[in-house]
Structure 1
Amino acid sequence: MMQLGDSSSNKHSLINVMHRFMAAASNMDETIMVPSLLRDLPLEERAAEAEPNNNVDCPLKQRDMYEHYLLLKSIRNDMEWGLLKREVSAGTSFLEMAMKQQQPVNGELLLEDDSDLEHQFHYHLRGLFGVLSKLTLEANNLTNRYKRELRGGNFVR
């Protein structure tokens, strides 16, 4: 019989990847004591050094560090408390939400039929691993950037 402790000791387990993201997001939240200092700081350091493009506003506004911080924090909260928190509080069950996702859209099912559940599972598991790994890197990068900016005095306005 496989124990839960066995899977968490494997560095490539889903539980371990989730824990790494949660730890990185928690560290980010604990390190960034004044999140409002992140406002208007471009996410990329090189974007801060670049010249504006002929004063033409880009239709897709680049996310600043503050918005990215809020996004990472929101994802952590969704993982911690559940994605369907609002729907469940409104009386919708998890099963009902899953069934709504499989309803036809323009005559096509959003998800394949249940005949290949193993393929669907592995497809989404690979995606989840990739997304969680990227989010962990983003949280760590944001934390380190905040520390560098704070040490460099770039927050003084």
Structure 2
Amino acid sequence: MMQTSDSYNQKNSLFNAMNRFIGAVNNMDQTVMVPSLLRDVPLDEDLKAVENGAAGASNGAAYFHQDGDMYGSYVLLKSIRNDIEWGILQGDERFKEKAGRTEMSRVEVEEDDLEKQFHFHLNGLHAVLAKLTHKANTLTNRYKEEIGCGN
């Protein structure tokens, strides 16, 4: 019984979630031979949301809609994969302003709150990685549909 619990916990580890995401993006990157074909092509979820009159509301499509097209999603996913694999440079301008605001909001953090903050951010990271993994898999499948390849 302990082994089942351990394998379940290991399956849901942050390390494995990151590996699933990186694997999905690597698969996407190997499948998409001509990224420029992705320009101006909406994802299926975007099309469904627009058809239903609720842009970004159907099936969690809000995180798809923000990128505009499949090419934007492709570039975003590769950028996030690179940030995970290589780290974020200290001088990265994308994060300087956000980091400054976050630092000001954390003026005094009590030691008791650190564990709660860790679990909050860990849960959030798991959720984001799951959505990004789904996004990479969806993009790969849509690309295959666009070029006429079957699964």
The alignment's TM-score, normalised by the length of structure 2, stands at 0.69
**Per residue, is there more helix in 1 or in 2?**
2
Q: Quick check: 1:102–1:111 contact (8 Å CA) kept in 2?
A: no
How many residue pairs get aligned? The number is 125
Residues 28 and 142, structure 1, Cα contact 8 Å, conserved in 2: yes
Structure-1 residue corresponding to 2:75: 70
Paired residue for 1:91?
A: none
The residue aligned with 1:139 is: 136
Amino-acid identity (%): 54
* Cα distance change on mapping 1:27 and 1:61 into 2, 3 Å: closer
Alpha-carbon separation, structure 1, partners of 2:107 and 2:25? 31
Deviations 1:62-118 (A, max 9, x none): 6110011101111101111112x1528xxxxxxxxxx856542xxxx2476132100
Partner amino acid for 1:113? V
5+ residue gaps in structure 2? 1-5, 54-64, 93-98
Name the Cα RMSD after superposition: 3.3
**Structure 2 CA distance for partners of 1:146 and 1:120, relative to 1, 3 Å:** same
Which digits, 9 at most, give the CA deviation of each residue in 1:18-51, with x for residues without a partner? 1000000011001100000000111236629x68
For the residue of structure 2 that corresponds to 1:76, the secondary structure is: helix
The alignment's TM-score, normalised by the length of structure 1, stands at 0.67
Which structure 1 residue ranges, 5 or more long, are not aligned?
Answer: 1-5, 54-59, 89-98, 153-157
State the distance in 2 between where 1:142 and 1:28 align: 7
